[in-house]
Homo-oligomer: A and B are copies of this chain.
């Protein structure tokens, strides 16, 4: 099989973890007799430095001509004082919008070999297996106006939480479709006791839910959800929510397994061109030291093989190799739990060997 993969390493540890992931993918290609063409694109701070634009048109072209996209991470203190339009995150937000990557999937699943790295007690964490489906191209992130205003002579500011019914509907459909292949339970998170957008969200959730009689639909207020994620994370199968709530809850959720360096994600579009990236950010403090955990990106690549390229066996092979390496006791610094310390590239090598 011949496939083209766009690579957007971005900033900080983004480059290191993408490099290692490419090595693993090359090894997969060899074993399974595929041809992967890798095309690089600039994004984030790196793109600002080289092109004066966090998402240059060339990068969009590279993406549009690919079968799937792997992103590292964007951002760093170097660009923090830049005007809004010249911030690394703008590149990521613009990419989401341009490619209509509306469904962000973040699986949170316990690794048996890492049970002890969670801040939560083992009995709370063992067996946790849910996925957060976050709406990614609407809400407060993109609503207009978003600006300073003069309010009767006083300085004021406004942001806008905006959704079209169709945007709410498609993300809920995604969630129910995923739930169908899992434990058939959707928790729709909103703030319907305060927000009108949440009341529409709840209505649409009911309508979509009625089309999936086999899937149980539960509504949960966002404040309660933030509690329940800690209090009893095992209750969740599929959590679906709007953009900002999803941003907060998925970062909170990532702490449950205690291994941010392990968490992969997929951002799915309506066109079929999807993006895969680790949940962790660019971690400028540890960049360039060859100590970042590449597993989140490697597992994101496995998600890509399965979801975008239809290569189930190959995806499983990567996941199995990761498991084996973890079981052998090797750990990057973020997971220091008594295992044997390994560098970014060492972990990559070991996973290749285990394939």
Contact = CB atoms under 8 A, between A and B. Distances in A.
A177 interface: no
Nearest to A88: B193
Contacts of A199: 84, 157
The listed residue with most B CB atoms (<10 A of its CB), out of A146, A166, A196, is A196
Contacts of A156: 162-165
Contact of A252 (B154, B159, B230): B230
Contact of A248 (B121, B159, B162, B223): B223
Given A223-B251, A230-B252, A155 B165 contact: yes
B158 A196 contact: yes
21 contacts: A120-B121, A140-B194, A141-B194, A146-B195, A146-B196, A154-B166, A155-B164, A155-B200, A156-B164, A157-B163, A158-B196, A159-B196, A160-B160, A222-B248, A223-B248, A223-B250, A224-B251, A226-B248, A226-B252, A230-B256, A245-B248
A255 interface: yes
B161 A154 contact: no
A227 B197 CA distance: 26
Contacts of A252: 226-227, 229-230, 252
Specify how many copies of this chain sit in the oligomer: 2
A38 interface: no
Contact of A162 (B140, B157, B197): B157
Contacts of A163: 156-157
Contacts of A52: none
Contact of A194 (B93, B119, B121, B157): B93
Closest CB pairs A-B (n = 10): A226-B252, A223-B251, A230-B255, A159-B161, A155-B165, A157-B200, A156-B164, A89-B193, A157-B197, A146-B196
A211 interface: no
A230 B143 CA distance: 30
The listed residue with most B CB atoms (<10 A of its CB), out of A93, A140, A165, A222, is A140
Interface residues of A, number: 57
Interface string A128-162: 00000000000011010011100100111111111
Given A157-B162, A158-B196, A119 B151 contact: no
Nearest to A90: B193
Contacts of A84: 199
A249 interface: yes
Contacts of A227: 251-252, 254-255, 260
Given A119-B124, A191-B244, A226-B251, A158 B162 contact: yes
A247 interface: yes
Contacts of A249: 226
Contacts of A256: 230
A231 interface: yes
